[in-house]
Amino acid sequence: MSEKPNGIVKAAVLLMALEEDDAAVLLGKLPPKQVELVSLAIAQLDNISGQIQEEIIAEFFGGEPSSLGHSTGGLDRAKSLVKKALGKDAADMLSILQQTLESLPFGFLQKADPQNILSFIMDEHPQTIAVVICHVPAATGAAILNGLPQQKQLSVIKRIAGMQQTNPEAIKEIECALEVRMSLVMSQSFRKAGGVPAVAEILNVTDRATERVVLESLTKDNPELVEEIRRLMFVFEDIQKLADKDIQTILKNVETSQWAMALKGASQQLQEKVMKNMSTRAAEILKEEIGFLGRVKVSDVESVQQKIVDILRTLEESGQLQRPGADGEEEFVA
């Protein structure tokens, strides 16, 4: 960054230098448009120099030394801060952030694998490669540079060093040509398929006997994989599919404070389903506890939800309750 940073960039650098929880609190106090602009700046500042960070932080403290550390930015950092700052209201802002980044030059490369990019630009002129590297995250650019032959590395570095301003039309031309070349191959060759979520989805709709045999067999070779599959097979919101008697069984094994935190981020339907199986007084107490919680971190809510799902799984394995079939209805035999 050679130009003088503006106020948005300075705010982004300061938030990057704070502990994430503290930064999220400050970000959450900004108006929505400022949250968007500062988050976007953080997403693009993964390659800011240490000297610039020091100057901005020193300016904030009136030239005095500070105890703030230096952290990196990037899209993942920006998303994490937005999630912590806005909680369950973060979805719209994350969508705006993603769309804005994708609309920037070479936005379609923001999350692309460096090796995929390298395979498409390896034989391009060093100037073209330099333009691409300057418009992707620093880590991606470094990986691309590392994959080039040494002589070409030097040529690209020289052009990056001498690059000041590039004609927007030239950038657009390079961007369009690369996007067209990559789009068909990437959509056909790199489309996500299979994986642990696919296994969980298949086992969720199979019969219990098959599910049990598959998971027991996998446990012998890869217990960690089985645990990952199990966590995806039944999510917290699926509790509303349980019969009332089974929800009452879970209620006996989960503390009210846990329900309050877990239901804070749950749907209205699930909240009503759980409270319907409580006494009137117990439901009132639970509603009060949920209200007293105020703003909570999404990660904290999800952690407690997962603990309740784990309790449910333990109860199921001991025969104390039974999950519904894939269609949400219990199956019977004559």
- Domain for residue 32, yes or no? yes
Q: Is 334 within the bounds of a domain?
A: no
When pLDDT is averaged across residues 1-14 and rounded to a whole number, the result is: 68
For residue 189, pLDDT over 50 is answered with no
**Residue 142 belongs to some domain of the structure:** yes
Average pLDDT over residues 158-173: 76
Note the pLDDT of residue 151: 86
Q: Is the pLDDT of residue 334 over 50?
A: no
- The pLDDT of residue 328 is 44
Q: Residue 16's pLDDT band (boundaries 50, 70, 90)?
A: confident
Per-residue pLDDT tens over the stretch 206-224: 666 777 788 888 888 888 8
* 52 pLDDT more than 90: no
CA 220 to each of CA 3, 128, 226, 316: distance values in angstroms, whole numbers, following the listed order: 58, 51, 10, 21
Single-letter residue type at 250: I
Are 266 and 302 members of one domain?
yes
Residue 111's pLDDT is 63
Considering the domain architecture, whether residues 264 and 298 belong to the same structural domain is answered as: yes
Do residues 69 and 120 share a domain?
no
Asked whether residue 290 is assigned to any structural domain, the reply reads: yes
Pair 66, 141 in one domain: no
CATH of residue 210 = 1.20.5.2020
Query: Which tokens is 190 given?
Result: 């790199």
Q: Which tens digit of pLDDT belongs to each residue from 58-104?
A: 666 665 545 455 455 666 777 788 888 888 777 777 777 766 665 56
- Asked whether residue 11 falls in the same domain as residue 99, the answer is yes
Average pLDDT over residues 3-27: 76
Considering only 22-36, 47-61, 126-140, which range has the smallest mean pLDDT?
47-61
The pLDDT, as a whole number, for residue 283 is 92
pLDDT at 284 (0 to 100): 93
**Pair (227, 270) in one structural domain:** no
Note the pLDDT tens digit of each residue in 122-142: 888 888 888 888 777 777 788
* Together in a domain, 165 and 208: no
Same domain, 23 and 70: yes
> Model confidence at 184, in pLDDT bands (50, 70, 90)?
low
Highest mean pLDDT pick, 162-176, 194-208, 272-286: 272-286
- For residue 326, being part of any structural domain is answered with no
Containing structural domain, residue 219: 192-233
- Domain contains 1: no
Last residue of one domain, picked from the residues 83, 103, 123: 103
Q: What is the pTM of this model?
A: 0.38
CA 278/CA 297 separation, integer angstroms: 26
DSSP per-residue string spanning 276-308 = HTS-HHHHHHHHHHHHHH-S--HHHHHHHHHHH
Number of domains within the chain: 4
* In contact, 73 and 44? CB cutoff 8 Å: yes
Q: What percent of the chain is modeled with pLDDT above 90?
A: 11
Which of 103, 132, 163 corresponds to the end of one domain? Answer: 103
Average pLDDT of span 152-173: 79
In this structure, the number of other CB atoms found within 10 A of the CB of residue 73 comes to 23
Digit-coded pLDDT (tens) for 283-332? 999 999 998 888 888 888 888 888 898 888 788 878 888 766 544 444 44
What mean pLDDT do residues 16-38 have? 82
Domain CATH number, residue 129: 1.10.220.30
As a whole number of angstroms, the distance between CA 256 and CA 133 comes to 53
Is there a single domain that holds both residue 228 and residue 300? Answer: no
CB 236 within 8 A of CB 309: yes
- Interior CA angle at 196 toward 190 and 199, to 5°? 110
Residue 327 inside a domain? The answer is no
- Which of 72, 103, 134 terminates a domain? The answer is 103
- 99 belongs to a structural domain: yes
Q: Which two tokens stand for residue 26?
A: 């400050």
Backbone angles phi, psi at 102, to 5 degrees: -70, -25
Q: What is the mean pLDDT of the chain?
A: 77
Q: What is the pLDDT of residues 139-152, one digit of tens each?
A: 778 888 888 988 88
Let me know whether 23 and 88 are in one domain: yes
pLDDT of residue 188: 46
Q: How far apart are the first and last CA of the chain?
A: 74
Neighbour tally for 275: CB within 10 Å: 18
Q: pLDDT band for 53, please (50, 70, 90 cuts).
A: low
